[in-house]
Amino acid sequence: MPSDGLERLARELRGEAKFDEPMARHTALRVGGAADLFIEPADLADLQDALAILRKEEIPYFVVGGGYNLLVRDAGIRGCVISLRGLDGLKPQPDARLEVGAGVANGMLCRVAAENCLAGVEFLCGIPGSFGGALAMNAGAHGCETLQRVETLTTLCNGELVVREAAELSFGYRYLKLYPGEIVVSARLSLEEAERQVIEARMAGYLSLRGGSQRVTFPSAGSFFKNPPGAQAWSLIDQAGLRGVSVGGAQVSEVHANFLVNRGGACATDFLALAALVKVRVQETSGVELEEEVRVVGEG
């Protein structure tokens, strides 16, 4: 039975609320047990009200973006899972700036930027998921990273809106340092003016490259492991002879060795066992210890 605090939250939320919601419906890998409560606040004010209840009732919470780069264990998530899809503001600003909400899809961001002749985020066009997720993990491709384009970052920290200048941020390869419980809600991007056809041609080139090497046909979370310094994870996995290897319904993709895919009927335990096998084999063959890029959450 849900707690009184979760019941109150579900009643007072203006957005959507679902009890015992399977996280397999909200993750790209299509695995994961149920969340006690899954909510999608209608807007920023609704999110702030929800967080006030969660803090008062001392209920743990976890924020999910587009569900990529995420593996939820089979016993699910206790407390509340928060989707930021409702934070979907996307507004061009003077001087080649763009204000972007955390719930905006990366593909939509790229389209709107191109329509407004703003260049600098084309590398995100082939990265699935939400902009909030791209910020939180400093997603990147083709030598570019999301946070390199951030002028200001707005977060919710202890219920208060905090706006940080780029110079105040601590980030690096696939990470952004945040305080416990801090939630990214939007960012202002500093871009450059360019001709729309030039921007769209660049995006088409990126999509072509990604389509050739990463067109997997089964559910995946994208790159499962980070690239070690001076190496590529997919190459190390391939050298270890793991392309196509399976554990249960989870498989090292035959198309891209750094993608672990759901061939059907997989559970989170299959992916965890396969990831452990990959790490051991790569350590044995190359001496490199791989680190997960995918975030593993929930109870086993």
Architecture of domain 90-199: 2-Layer Sandwich (3.30)
Q: Name the catalytic one among 83, 130, 220, 223.
A: 223
- Residue 285's contacts (CB-CB under 8 Å, 6 or more residues apart) are 236, 239, 240, 241
Verify whether residue 223 is a known catalytic residue.
Answer: yes
CATH class of the domain at 4-83: alpha beta
Please choose, from the candidates 247, 257, 292, 294, the residue with its C-alpha nearest in 3D space to the C-alpha of residue 27. 294
Q: Where do the domains of the chain lie?
A: 4-83, 90-199, 217-297
Q: Which of 21, 40, 145, 293 is catalytic?
A: 293
Per-residue pLDDT of the chain (300 residues; tens, 9 = 90+): 468 999 999 999 999 999 999 999 999 999 999 999 999 999 999 999 999 999 999 999 999 988 888 999 999 999 999 999 999 999 999 999 999 999 999 999 999 999 999 999 999 988 888 999 999 989 888 889 999 999 999 999 988 999 999 999 999 988 899 999 899 999 999 999 999 999 999 999 988 876 655 566 799 998 999 999 999 999 999 999 999 999 999 999 999 999 999 999 999 999 999 999 999 999 999 999 999 999 999 987
- Which residues have CB under 8 Å from 279's CB, separation 6+? 289, 290
Q: Pick the catalytic residue from 164, 174, 263, 295.
A: 174
Active site residue 40: no
Q: Which CATH architecture has domain 217-297?
A: Alpha-Beta Complex (3.90)
Beta-strand relationship, 192-193 and 118-119? antiparallel
What pLDDT, on the 0 to 100 scale, is given for residue 207? Answer: 86
* Catalytic (active site) residue 168: no
* Interstrand relation of 246-247 and 183-190 (parallel, antiparallel or unpaired): unpaired
CB atoms within 10 A of CB 17: 20
Q: Tally Cβ neighbours within 10 Å of residue 259.
A: 21
